[in-house]
A and B are shown apart, each in its own frame.
Chain A
């Protein structure tokens, strides 16, 4: 297939090399036509002219067909790196293998490849608690890193599941943190996978008054949110205090009663202190 590109650069040589690079051919395979000779110009580069060349070469037909999956949906080839291309192609193959129809977009930010799949009926590719999504995500990151020296992270979302889950996890983390800070007792969250735990940890990193750590073995590993002032032995005494709230409440009630001198509501403060 014959292909022609036109390039403009400071010098003819530069323009040619840009053009053959784009065509992906060697210089002797290309026919170069110089449209405009560049001149460096006179005093201080004034009157400078850029060089323009037109390069024609026989380029091999694109070997890879655009990747289709599902029925007729295609996705844009905005992939910038080989790893991204491979990761995206792999996800597309898996989805079409499972029998999912949808659209696939990807972009790269630093060392992370983001792949988003949208479409109806993505349920099978998400699975219970996102376990199929996690499996696809895991294998895709292996494929992306197969030929890469630096570690590439893959962030895959299907049908917006990850996004919804992230919003939920953030709110869950904040609620647990408020509860831990208020009660002075550690709060244990449900079992989560590593990436979900990471969301919780990073959400609460800036949350005053609590620290987070994980406990247990995969897949039952879970985040524990602890109040900062209730750490270590202090934590035990704090919970001891709570445990003996019934016996301690006698004194507290007496104080409240004498302060407020509202005898009719004597039962209410007692209830409150127990909650």
Chain B
């Protein structure tokens, strides 16, 4: 379920090999912990968190049908 998050993150960063996502199932909520190379943090967060927000919006659309809530944490 987290493939899409990996795809988006890889497309934005300069070091795609360092992109990993950890999926934590907490019943009604799925937590996706995205980690990228330290120098790429800004590439996935963006100015004022704009990129992170766009990523979250798209992930929410993905999880809409599952009835689960999705939380994307950038760690």
Q: Which residues from chain A sit less than 8 Å from chain B, CB to CB?
A: 90, 93-94, 97-99, 124-125, 127, 131-132, 134-136, 138-139, 142-143, 146
Contact = CB atoms under 8 A, between A and B. Distances in A.
Contacts of B53: 135
A132 B11 contact: no
Contact of A143 (B3, B12, B55): B12
- Interface of chain B, main secondary structure: helix
Given A97-B3, A99-B62, A127 B57 contact: yes
B4 A98 contact: yes
Contact of A142 (B7, B51, B60): B51
Please report whether the interface of chain A is mostly helix, strand, loop or mixed according to DSSP. helix
B64 interface: yes
Nearest to B66: A99
Given A94-B58, A99-B65, 15 more contacts: A90-B11, A94-B7, A94-B8, A97-B4, A97-B58, A124-B64, A127-B57, A127-B61, A132-B60, A134-B57, A135-B53, A138-B51, A139-B11, A139-B54, A142-B51
A93 B62 CA distance: 12
B65 A97 contact: no
Interface of B: 3-4, 7-8, 11-12, 50-51, 53-55, 57-58, 60-62, 64-65
Contact of B62 (A98, A139, A143): A98
Contacts of A138: 50-51, 54
A97 B55 CA distance: 12
Nearest to A100: B61
Nearest to B64: A124
B21 to A, nearest CB: 13
The residue in B4, B54, B58 that gathers the most chain A C-beta atoms within 10 A of its C-beta is B58
A2 B46 CA distance: 46
Nearest 9 interchain pairs by C-beta: A97-B4, A135-B54, A135-B57, A132-B61, A98-B62, A124-B61, A138-B54, A143-B11, A93-B7
Contacts of A139: 8, 11-12, 51, 54-55, 58
A113 B51 CA distance: 20
Nearest to A125: B61
Contacts of A135: 53-55, 57-58
Nearest to B3: A97
B7 A97 contact: yes
A142 B58 contact: no
A143 B13 CA distance: 10
Contacts of A142: 12, 51
Nearest to A137: B54
Contacts of A90: 11
Contacts of B50: 138
